[in-house]
Amino acid sequence: MLKKISICLLCLGIIGCSTPRGPEISDQGGSNAFNTDISEINISGTSSRSFRVGVLLPLTGKASKHGQGLRNATMVALEDVRNPNLVLQYYDTQSTPSGARIAAENAIRQNSDLIIGPLMSTEVQAISNETIYQGVPVIAFSTAQEVLQPTVYTLGLLIEEQVNRIMTYAAQKGRKRFALLLPDNSTGSAVAKAAVKSAQKNGVEVTVIGFYAPSTSDFSGIIKEMTDYQTRHARLSSLRNMLQRKADNGDGTSKKALERLSTKEGLGDIGFDAIIIPESGAKLTAAISMFAYYDVAYPQVQFLGTSVWEGSRLNNESSIVHSWYPALSRMHSSYFANKYAGIFGEKPSSLYSFAYDAVALANEISKQDTDNINKVITNPDGYAGISGVFRLFEDGSNQHSLDILEIRPEGDAVINSAPRKFTNSGEEELLSAVNIDSSYRAPLIYGKDNATAQILIYGEVLPIENQGIRFRDPESERQAVNKELRQMGIVIP
């Protein structure tokens, strides 16, 4: 049975309740060289059984806007949980690893039972050794899986979970061969690693990966390679020449076939029927439009994204309509967004919901009669929060309940709802390392040295028998061409 966080909104009773008394705020002098005072918040004073939470946020520096928003969200949560024994102590990381390290040291020195934050992966790395040594669990907001480890958790939405969710759904809908168009950076690497694991788990393939410079907005070259344009264009030209000769001799069927082929740029199997593009905005539009130029479009290919697609407002882009992407459940998000906006005068970022849920989780921990905080944190039943159910795993990673949304002209619509509870232990959701046997085929790599890419994805260069190939045999290619022609209603005389 799902273990619910004790917050009023879960029973929706808070909407009709009188406004709770706001949290009391007091400042205590501190010794942090980067932060000369520590803000301490609780509802109605501390007691001898107080559960103290050190909240490490970038309240100054380059990430201060997010830091202030996260702090605001924790205050909203503290007001809702109304637990007089829950005390939040705020420490400024100054948006730097050194600031985070000093903040963590002060939080531990001042008896924090739990640390919420920090935000950035470099900050998490900076505090981990000390928090592990001192036995203080961390619930961070980073989305970098490589900084996580036992007792260093995150509520951030991880790339691996997003990729697995969207690939699993697409596989269930019949998509079997996946391509990836990725920035050549840490995000691209994370997507590639997750995709090959998810593919094997779901019995499908990643057949093509194209890497591009993160600064580029010109995708013509890489997409031309990924879609095997030259071979497909040459095949189409050869067919057109043959049909033209017959049409010149009065063959009406050939003339009709030429008319139907007039808008085509290539002919033949492109090697994939779904593609993941973890981009947003103008870059996403440019990429999908370029695929369309090379005759790659829905429904032949299903375009897939990550959560960065949410809010991109691409509903008027015809080439993107029918595309799918995962996003956090909107189960209770309107309550939080409305309350936050009412207090602070602006709409909250989706990131801020994690801060709310972190405080609600701390509230639940504070009520448990146990010295093993980590056992409570990693309860396999999970917890219900602002953005649906979630749970944390012993390795520091997490699982959220993610909706699948489809882009439609009238607005994005949920086509596969997030689960409202977890029905397994969670081990089934974790992606295992890829099993490289004699039948395994690595994806074709474009835009990056093949050996370098394989080391990045698999940790090694794969044997020659596992290297990717464009087509299995000429017969499969002939069948693919004939299928495409039949779909166009073309009969070759």
Residue-wise pLDDT for 390-401, tens only, equals 999 999 999 998
Is 44's pLDDT higher than 50? no
For residues 166 and 314, membership in a common domain is answered with yes
**Strands 274-276, 302-304: pairing kind:** parallel
163-201 in b/e burial notation, b at 16+ Cβ within 10 A? bbbbbbbbbeeebebbbbbbbbeebbbbbbbbbbbbbbb
31 and 80, same domain (yes or no): yes
**pLDDT higher than threshold 50 for residue 34:** no
- The answer on 166 and 126 residing in a single domain is no
Residue 200 lies in a domain: yes
- Whether 95 and 154 map to the same domain: the answer is yes
| pLDDT value of position 10 | 37
H or E stretch covering 95: none
Same domain, yes or no: 46 and 114: yes
Which of 400, 434, 459 is the last residue in one of the domains? 400
Instruction: Tell whether 342 is covered by a domain.
Output: yes
State the DSSP string of 338-375: HHHHHHHSSPPPTTHHHHHHHHHHHHHHHT---S-HHH
Instruction: Look up the domain containing 42 and give its range.
Output: 8-158+330-400
| Domain co-membership, 266 together with 277 | yes
Asked whether residue 428 is assigned to any structural domain, the reply reads yes
Domain assignment present for 440: yes
Residue 51 belongs to some domain of the structure = yes
Q: Examine the domain organization and report whether 164 and 287 are in the same domain.
A: yes
pLDDT at 333: 80
Q: For position 289, what pLDDT does the model report? A: 93
At residue 428 the predicted structure's pLDDT band, cuts being 50, 70 and 90, is: low
> Of 400, 422, 438, which residue is a domain's last?
400
Whether 171 and 279 map to the same domain: the answer is: yes
Domain count, the chain: 2
**Which stretch, 8-17, 262-271, 427-436, has highest mean pLDDT?**
262-271
Lowest-pLDDT range of 21-25, 44-48, 233-237, 331-335: 21-25
CATH number at residue 339: 3.40.50.2300
Could you tell me which residue, 58 or 263, shows the higher pLDDT? 58
Residue 1 lies in a domain: no
Say if residue 150 is in the same domain as residue 268.
Answer: no
Q: In this structure, are 144 and 35 located in the same domain?
A: yes
Out of 338, 368, 400, pick the residue that ends a domain: 400
Cα distances from 348 to residues 41, 44, 69, 342, in angstroms, run: 21, 26, 7, 11
Q: Is the pLDDT of residue 31 over 70?
A: no
Instruction: Please give the distance of CA 122 from its chain centroid, rounded to a whole number.
Output: 19
Task: Let me know if 92 is exposed, middle or buried by CB neighbors in 10 A (0-12, 13-18, 19+).
Answer: buried
Query: In the chain, how many H helices and how many E strands?
Result: 14, 18
483 shares a domain with 348:
no
* Same domain assignment for residues 206 and 80: no
Span of 41-45, 147-151, 252-256 with lowest mean pLDDT: 41-45
CB atoms within 10 A of CB 22: 12
- How far apart are the C-alpha atoms of 344 and 78, rounded to whole Å? 15
In this structure, how many other beta carbons lie within 10 angstroms of the beta carbon of residue 314? Answer: 20
